[in-house]
């Protein structure tokens, strides 16, 4: 008993006429018109992705030119010539694989064959698939024959990579670019096939199979063949999804619904289910990106999105329903978060965590306030604030109190302008630095620790910053004792011989009696000891900022702004002369 060989669906349902070509109407119409008008070129180049009908179109064209019923746009598929071409047994139609016959010797043999007339058909036709695989020598050997072939010869080339074909070959051919087939057209063809085969399968499963084809009819039909081999004459949706290893569209819909509902628990549950099903987390993220892209396009163009999105009718209806009234800026922010997460997954060892954090951020993303609403709130704010109220008083500069003890200016070197005296009570602030290369400034003001540090800062600012961290344990004209935290950088710096000598020299310049200098190591915080200038500045700044914050919170405009906009005062910044208005955080 002879076993009957199984004919796969991709071969069984291969297009046999131009009318059977799905999604390539621009090619079939041009070829049919050319046959009708008798303007058939001697060389054709069919380009496009895999499985979109290039080789099938070449066979249909060969049958149309050699049909025994006469040259016709639609071959009869009944005469011996048509049947032989369909079966691949015609002696006058040669199908050559360019990948395995890519040498110059094969092309020379082809040129010898061209010289002879067809045995039975009207034309001798050479179909070279994957023509870009030919070597440079083979292309060169083909050039002259391709440009001026005998009248009984036609060339049909097919390739997925036309950019690899030499321009000298391209210029001698009529080029036809085959398009990727839309998902709805593939799904419709699959529905026709399963109906003819008597298979029970839902439209949702056919959409999954069509999407797996990625624009290729042959890939989609081969995938359908695999599904039928697994499921038999009845294919359940769960079996199809499990077999193909794709993300269930229902899971995508549930994820987006959880994000829109701001349900963080359900968001984490969907990620758990994706992980338990064994789906690749990065693939799930990519599917989710495509899913939210659909929402974005729907909100951007409305019903015109049906022509842009490659989805089935049921999926489009579900997207339109779920998109609802979600605004476009929010959807764009969702897409940005997903794209960032997909990029991070490539180099992360925790893809599930990346996915969870992205979805949680999407579910808790604060809404974008429209500009119109902000303007309306500002108008309401203007109506609340009294007409005479201002955000802050204009800056007023008061001259510092004159230091009576230093009212008489110290002697100045010749050619140097008189120096301003430091204001009383602010001796911790350093005096302005001069940019003139003149003699060292003379000590001014009281002979105390702040005055000494200010004097040092005028000569050596970096050295003064170290002294500011020290505690003045004893400061007299005879003794200068400074304490530093043991083990600190400042204490180590003061232990340096040259640094200590510099301190002695500066102390002798500032204090009339050249006091004895001593550096002491302190342990702990030592709260009972005098504070350092650095600590005093920090305390003064904290006290001043607290007063400013209290004034800001009590100001009517700030209070009204916080109430209308629902904000909180995060921080304040002191305003100074020439700095512009102070800013309050919101």
For the chain, the distance separating the N- and C-terminal CA atoms, rounded to the nearest angstrom, is 87
| Domain co-membership, 186 together with 289 | no
- Helix or strand or coil: residue 186? helix
In a domain, 420, yes or no: no
Domain boundary among 368, 400, 429: 368
pLDDT at 370: 66
In a domain, 164, yes or no: yes
Half-sphere exposure of 297 (CA within 13 A, CB side): 17
pLDDT at 1: 45
Residue 429 neighbours by CB under 8 Å, 6+ apart: 422, 454
Which tens digits make up the pLDDT trace of 22-38? 989 999 999 999 999 88
| Domain co-membership, 519 together with 572 | no
Question: Which helix (H) or strand (E) element contains residue 541?
Answer: helix 533-554
Q: How far apart are CA 359 and CA 257, in angstroms?
A: 12
Whether residue 284 contacts residue 155, with contact meaning beta carbons closer than 8 Å, is answered with no
In a domain, 3, yes or no: no
In a domain, 406, yes or no: no
What's the chain's length in residues? Answer: 586
Whether residue 103 contacts residue 97, with contact meaning beta carbons closer than 8 Å, is answered with no
Domain count, the chain: 5
Phi first, then psi: what are they for 273, rounded to 5°?
-70, -40
pLDDT at 73: 87
| Domain co-membership, 327 together with 456 | no
pLDDT at 427: 41
| Domain co-membership, 145 together with 274 | no
Whether residue 389 contacts residue 561, with contact meaning beta carbons closer than 8 Å, is answered with no
In a domain, 537, yes or no: no
The residue segments making up the domain with residue 317 are 257-368
**492-520 b/e with 16+ CB inside 10 Å = b?**
ebbeeeeeeeebeebbebbbeeebebebb
CB neighbours of residue 410 within 10 Å: 12
Q: How far apart are CA 134 and CA 224, in angstroms?
A: 33
Q: How far apart are CA 499 and CA 503, in angstroms?
A: 6
Chain mean position to CA 29: 41
Q: Which of 312, 308, 290, 311 is nearest to 300 (CA)?
A: 308
Tell me the CATH number at 120: 3.40.50.300
Q: Inter-axis angle of helices 281-301 and 249-260, to 10 degrees?
A: 60
Domain boundary among 368, 403, 423: 368
Domain boundary among 492, 507, 530: 530
| Domain co-membership, 327 together with 226 | no
| Domain co-membership, 40 together with 83 | yes
Residue ranges of the chain with per-residue pLDDT less than 70: 1-4, 368-371, 381-445, 524-527, 575-586
Which tens digits make up the pLDDT trace of 83-133? 999 988 899 999 988 888 778 888 888 888 888 898 888 999 999 999 999
Alpha helices in 115-263 (DSSP H): 136-147, 167-170, 183-197, 203-213, 217-231, 237-244, 249-260
In a domain, 352, yes or no: yes
In a domain, 390, yes or no: no
DSSP string of 67-111, one letter each residue = -TT-S-SS--S-SHHHHHHHHT--SSEEEEETTTS-SHHHHHHHH
| Domain co-membership, 17 together with 143 | yes
| Domain co-membership, 552 together with 479 | no
| Domain co-membership, 335 together with 459 | no
pLDDT at 383: 66
| Domain co-membership, 18 together with 161 | yes
Q: Which of 272, 252, 264 is nearest to 365 (CA)?
A: 264
Q: How far apart are CA 68 and CA 57, in angstroms?
A: 19
| Domain co-membership, 18 together with 90 | yes
In a domain, 463, yes or no: yes
| Domain co-membership, 37 together with 136 | yes
Tell me the CATH number at 222: 1.10.8.60
């Amino acid at each position: 008993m002879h076993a009957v060989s199984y004919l796969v669906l991709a071969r069984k349902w291969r297009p046999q006429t131009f009318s059977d070509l799905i999604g390539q109407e621009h090619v079939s119409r041009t070829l049919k018109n050319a046959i009708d008008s008798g303007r058939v070129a001697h060389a054709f180049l069919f380009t496009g992705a895999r499985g979109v009908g290039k080789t099938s179109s070449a066979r249909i064209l060969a049958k149309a030119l050699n049909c025994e019923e006469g040259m016709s746009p639609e071959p009869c598929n009944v005469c011996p010539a048509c049947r032989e071409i369909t079966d691949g047994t015609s002696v006058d139609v040669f199908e050559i694989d360019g990948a395995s016959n890519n040498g110059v010797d094969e092309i020379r043999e082809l040129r010898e064959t061209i010289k002879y007339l067809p045995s039975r058909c009207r034309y001798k036709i050479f179909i070279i698939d994957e023509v870009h695989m030919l070597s440079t020598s083979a292309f060169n050997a083909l050039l002259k024959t391709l440009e001026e072939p005998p009248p009984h010869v036609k060339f049909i080339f097919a390739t997925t990579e036309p950019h690899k074909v030499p321009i000298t070959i391209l210029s001698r051919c009529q080029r036809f670019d085959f398009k990727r087939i839309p998902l709805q057209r593939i799904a419709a063809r699959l529905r026709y096939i399963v109906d003819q085969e008597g298979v029970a399968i839902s439209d949702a499963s056919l959409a999954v199979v069509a999407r797996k084809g990625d624009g290729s009819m042959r890939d989609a039909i081969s995938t359908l063949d695999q599904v039928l081999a697994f499921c038999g004459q009845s294919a359940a949706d769960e079996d199809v999804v499990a077999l193909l290893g794709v993300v269930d569209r229902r899971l995508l819909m549930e994820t987006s619904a959880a994000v829109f509902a701001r349900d963080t628990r359900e968001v984490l549950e969907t990620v758990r289910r994706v992980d338990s099903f064994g789906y690749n987390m990065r693939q799930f993220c990519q599917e989710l990106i495509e899913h939210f892209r659909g929402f974005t396009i729907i909100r951007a163009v409305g019903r015109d999105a049906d022509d842009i999105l490659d989805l089935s009718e049921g999926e489009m209806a579900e997207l339109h329903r779920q998109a609802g009234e979600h605004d476009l800026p929010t959807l764009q922010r969702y897409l940005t978060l997903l794209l960032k997460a997909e990029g991070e997954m490539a180099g992360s060892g925790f893809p599930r965590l990346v996915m969870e954090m992205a979805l949680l951020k999407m579910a808790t993303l604060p809404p974008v306030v429209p500009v119109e609403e902000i303007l309306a709130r500002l108008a309401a704010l203007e109506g609340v604030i009294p007409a005479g109220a201002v955000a802050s008083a204009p800056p007023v500069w008061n001259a510092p109190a004159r230091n009576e003890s230093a009212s008489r200016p110290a002697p100045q070197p010749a050619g140097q302008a008189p120096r301003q005296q430091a204001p009383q009570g602010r001796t911790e602030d350093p005096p302005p630095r001069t940019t003139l290369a003149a003699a060292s400034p003379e000590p001014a003001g009281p002979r105390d620790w702040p005055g000494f540090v200010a004097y040092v800062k005028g000569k050596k600012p970096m050295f003064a910053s170290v002294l500011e961290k020290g505690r003045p344990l004893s400061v007299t004209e005879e003794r200068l004792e400074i304490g530093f935290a043991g083990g600190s950088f400042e204490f180590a710096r003061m232990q340096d011989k040259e640094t200590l000598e510099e301190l002695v020299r500066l102390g002798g310049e500032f204090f009339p009696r050249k006091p004895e200098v001593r550096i002491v190591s302190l342990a702990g915080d030592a709260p009972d000891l005098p504070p350092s200038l650095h600590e005093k500045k920090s305390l003064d700044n904290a006290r001043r900022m607290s007063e400013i914050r209290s004034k800001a919170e009590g100001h009517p405009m700030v209070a009204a702004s916080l109430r209308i906009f629902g904000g909180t005062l995060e921080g304040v910044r002191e305003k100074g002369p020439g700095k512009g208005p102070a800013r309050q955080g919101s």
